[in-house]
Amino acid sequence: MNSYHHGDLRRAFLAEAAAMVAEAGVESVTLRALGRRVGVSHSAPLHHFGSRGGLLEALSAEGFEALLEELDGSPADPASQCAAFVLWALAHPAHYAVMWAPEVDAGQGPAALHGRFASAVGGDPAAAQTAFALAHGLAELWISGALPRPERAGDAVWLLCEQAGIG
C-alpha cells in the first residue's frame, strides 16, 4: 500500500470510482479495489461511505447535482434543456451510468430532472415526459454505441426535439 496523503480523500474516492466505472462499468467498483487504487487501506472507503451502495449513491448524487447545474446554465426552452442534458451525459458517461444503474438509489435526482423538463415545457406532463425520454434515450443510445453518435450531437437533439413537437 502506498502512503497516501490528500486534503480531500472523499473527493479522491469519488473521482477514482468514476474512473473505475469508465474503465469497466458500475459492477467493477468495489471498496477494496477503490482503496488499492487510491493508495489507502481497503477499509478507508468504508469509513467515508459506509458501503459500496453508499459510495455509488454519493457518485450518483454528484452526477445529478452536476447535471442540474448544467441545465441551470442553459436556456430554459425544451430543446436547449434536452441538448444540454445529452451533451452533459456524453461528456460524463461514468457518472451517467451510475445515475441510472438499477442497483443504485437515485434519490430525488430523476424527479428533479423531470421537474426541469416540466418547467421548460410550461407544465404539460406529456410534453415533459417526452422531452425527458428523448434526452435520456438519446444519451443512453449514443453512450452505449447502440446508435452512432452524430458529429454535432447538440444539433441532432434540437432537430429531434423539433420533430417531436417539443422544440
Largest CA distance in the chain: 57
What does the block give as the cell for 77?
426552452
Distance CA 64, CA 102 (A): 15
At 29, which CATH number?
A: 1.10.357.10
Q: How many domains does the chain have?
A: 1
Cβ atoms of residues 149 and 141 within 8 Å: no
- Asked if residue 1 belongs to a domain, the reply is no
- Listed residue (98, 103, 49) closest to 38, CA to CA: 49
- Asked if residue 110 belongs to a domain, the reply is yes
**What is the rounded radius of gyration, in angstroms, for the C-alpha atoms of the chain?**
18
- Asked if residue 138 belongs to a domain, the reply is yes
Which H or E run contains 11? helix 9-24
Please state, as a whole number, how many other Cβ atoms lie within 10 Å of the Cβ of residue 107. 12
Q: What is the mean pLDDT of residues 50-59?
A: 96
Does the reported pTM lie above 0.85? yes
- Write the pLDDT tens digit of every residue in 102-142: 999 999 999 999 999 999 999 999 999 999 999 999 999 99
**Model pLDDT, residue 6:** 58
Distance CA 2, CA 24 (A): 23
Domain ranges, residue 72 = 9-164
Q: Residues 152, 153, 157, 158: is their CA dihedral positive or negative?
A: negative
Residue 19's pLDDT band (cuts 50, 70, 90): very high
